[in-house]
Each structure stands twice: as structure tokens, then as C-alpha cells.
Amino acid sequence: MTFEEKLAQFAELAVNVGTNIQQGQTLLINTTVDTIDFTRLVVKEAYKAGAARVTVNYADDVVARELFENAPVEEFEKFPRWITAQRDELIERGGALLWIDAADPDLMAGIPVEKISANQKASGKALENYRDAVMNDKIAWSIIAIPSKKWAAKVFPELPEAEQVPAMWEAIFKTVHIGEGSAVENWQAHLKNLHARGDLMNEKHFAKLHYKAPGTDLIVGLPDKHIWATGSSKTPQGTEFVANMPTEEVFTLPSKYDVNGYVSSTKPLVYQGNIIDNFKLTFENGVIVKAEAAQGEELLNELIKADEGSKYIGEIALVPHESPISASGLLYYNTLFDENASNHIAIGAAYPTCYEGGSELSEEEMDQAGINTSITHEDFMVGSADMDIDGIHADGTVEAVFRKGAWAF
């Protein structure tokens, strides 16, 4: 299969599996100027699939960096109303959203933490309606990524510059099952396998999970009505979409006030263009009471203070250590990929769809049910080949879920 054929399959995947564009639907694409050629392929594919209108927002990393370097802190306490209006109109029209990421992992390195924190809080507040739509699957949305020069250089520093981007393309193609046969058919088979694993976890209906590994001893309670979900979701209209491409996870929500112990990261977290690495979180009754990091500790603590819900966790996800992304041996410095190489946990908001009837609950009712709400949702990686996880049933009996980083059943 030629490179051009692989690109065409990737564009087809993004449109027909990721967002699953329907006849007459609108599509909003958020991306950067590094992706222009590929984005044009996606736009063409979207119209081919029946989209009525495709709008592309192009950002420029250089311009974004200039803003954060030169604008006063007060400017980051505001948020452009046109962005909020654009997202709200997309939701009203039942449109779909696609992110095509090519970010530099070090984009905001050295930027004052107070600017990053102010921007996070302002955007979180302004985009509450959008966040509610995404967290509750009210619209179809998907995130994919393609190489940029700076990102490829970060992942493949040992290669000559001319070989870095091609190597990155091939690595990404493998993660999204492009290379042999029909990528769409490959994804249908992949999603079927993930659904089978999710069904099994729902049958087990554990009351708690106990994580054990070097630097980790954490017990996570699960609400009685929790649901294990997988790579694909459905809108209220019944349109199936895949939010993350790649995806290897089976995930649910924890009981907000029933998380105790400590957990250590096993891969760097790229947050707001900065790297947070080698960190440890300690929990008491769900609350993060201590956060330590070898790199990015100040930013980590700002993340945890973003709002009341950001000192709790909202997601736990199970990914075997032998997953294809982990087996590649690559560190992507991008959560979309690194979270699919490792068991992970999310600081902040839970997906209400992981709770029976959760999308119908008010914020107060969600809190009573143990469902966390927040303006943040940041996944960080905790899995390794040394991790064991036990499932604890309501009657106290214990069953192995993971052994040495692999499924135990």
C-alpha cells in the first residue's frame, strides 16, 4: 500500500468511523497549519460522505506562542465569545467535531504557570455547554493526530531530520490499523473485540479495584450503577462514532468519594504544552491531598486547583501493557497515544454515560451518585508490566483482573 493510499484511508477513517458524518450534517475541524494538506483530504472525504458544510479553524503554534509570551495575564482571564458561539451553533445544528492534532509537546515550555492556569479556567467556564455535549455524547466528536516536524523530532530524536516525519507517519498508521486491507473493516473488528471485553467487565460488576505496582497502592470504589464503556459511542440519534483514534481502552467512572491510597505516573503527561513527569498523587476519600512531581510540579498543582472537581478523578481505564502502542516501544508525548499504551486515570470530570441514567441527572444528583464534575479532564498514565489489579466484589471476594500488566481473564 502506497503512502498516498494510506493517507486516503486515514481521511476515510476520520470521516466515516471517527465522526461518522451523516447526510446533510455540518462538520467543524479544529487543527493547525501543519496539517493543511491532510485536512484538505478530510474535507473532501466529508463532502463525499454527504456533509452540508465543513468549516476549518486553523491555529498556528508560532502565533499561539507569541500570544502567551507577550499578552498580559489579564487577557487569559477572558475567552473569545465567537469560539463559544461557534461551538454552541454546532451543537444546535447536530453537527460533528473533529480535532486533527499535530501539537508540539513543548509548545508552552517556559510560559508562566499563571497564564496557563488562567486560560484553562476561562476556557473551561466559557465552554461549559460544549463540554456537557461532549461528555454526554450529545454530538459526534473525534480526535486524530498526524505528524508535525517538532513532534516527530521529539519522538524520534535519534533519526536524521529527513527521516523523522516519515517514521512518525508509519508509527501512526500502525496505531490506527492502516496498512493491510480495509482500514474501516479493521476498525469494525477491533471495536468488536473491545466491546466483548467491556461486556465481560460489566458482567463482573466489581465494587472496587485495587491497583498494585511499584509506587502505586490504590483502591478505587465503583458506583453500583457504573458501566464499562469502550472505543465507540452513540449520539441520541443513534449515530455511532469513535472519539479517540487510536483507542485500546475499556473505561468507567470511579465513585467520587471512594478513592484511597497513592498512584505513580509511568509516562509523561503533556498538559497545556508542558510536560509533567514522574509524579505521584495521594488520595484520601477521593480527594487528591498531595501531588509531587520531578518535573512540572507547580503546573500539576495548578491543574488540581482549577476548580472544586479537579481535586478528584473522573475516569479509570484499563489497557493491557502488550497493546500495539505499548509494544511499539515509543513514547509519543501525546496523551491520545500514550494513554492507549497504558492503564490510565483522569483528573477531573467523569463521563456521565458511564453511569446508568447518568446523562439525565442534575449536577447535584451526579454528586450524590458519586459522579465527578469539573472543567478539567486530564488523563495520566499509570500502567506498566509490573501492575496487578484485583477486582473486589460487593461480598468481599477478590478476583484477579490484571497480572503483570496483562488481562488475567
Residue with cell 501531588: 291
Omega into 246 within 30° of 0, i.e. cis?
yes
What is the share, in percent, of the chain residues with pLDDT greater than 90? 97
Pairing verdict, β 140-145 and 96-101 = parallel
User: pLDDT by residue (tens digit) across 21-48?
Assistant: 999 999 999 999 999 999 999 999 999 9
How far is it, in rounded angstroms, from Cα 272 to Cα 225? Answer: 33
Q: What is the average pLDDT score of the chain?
A: 96
pLDDT the model gives residue 50 = 98
pLDDT the model gives residue 103 = 86
Best CA proximity match to 209, nearest among 263, 249, 248: 263
Mean pLDDT of 270-279: 93
User: pLDDT by residue (tens digit) across 172-200?
Assistant: 999 999 998 999 999 999 999 999 999 99
pLDDT the model gives residue 16 = 97
pLDDT the model gives residue 358 = 96
Answer yes or no: is pLDDT of 60 > 90: yes
Q: Are 76 and 122 in contact (CB under 8 A)?
A: yes
pLDDT the model gives residue 327 = 85
Best CA proximity match to 227, nearest among 352, 345, 142: 352
Query: Residue 223: what residue type?
Result: P
Phi-psi region of 229 (alpha: psi -120 to 50; beta: other; left: phi over 0): beta
Best CA proximity match to 270, nearest among 157, 155, 158: 155
Give 274's contacts (C-beta < 8 A, 6+ positions apart): 106, 108, 109, 111, 116, 296, 299
pLDDT the model gives residue 324 = 84
pLDDT the model gives residue 322 = 85
CA dihedral sign, ordered 194, 277, 293, 61: negative
Residue 207 is classified by DSSP as: S
What is the share, in percent, of the chain residues with pLDDT greater than 70? 100
pLDDT the model gives residue 402 = 98
Instruction: Give the 3-state secondary structure percentages of the chain, helix then strand then coil, rounded to 5.
Output: 40, 25, 35
Give 304's contacts (C-beta < 8 A, 6+ positions apart): 288, 291, 310, 311, 347
User: pLDDT by residue (tens digit) across 122-153?
Assistant: 999 999 999 999 999 999 999 999 999 999 99
Answer yes or no: is pLDDT of 290 > 90: yes
Q: Are 286 and 312 in contact (CB under 8 A)?
A: yes
Q: What angle do CA 21, 96, 342 make, to 5 degrees?
A: 95
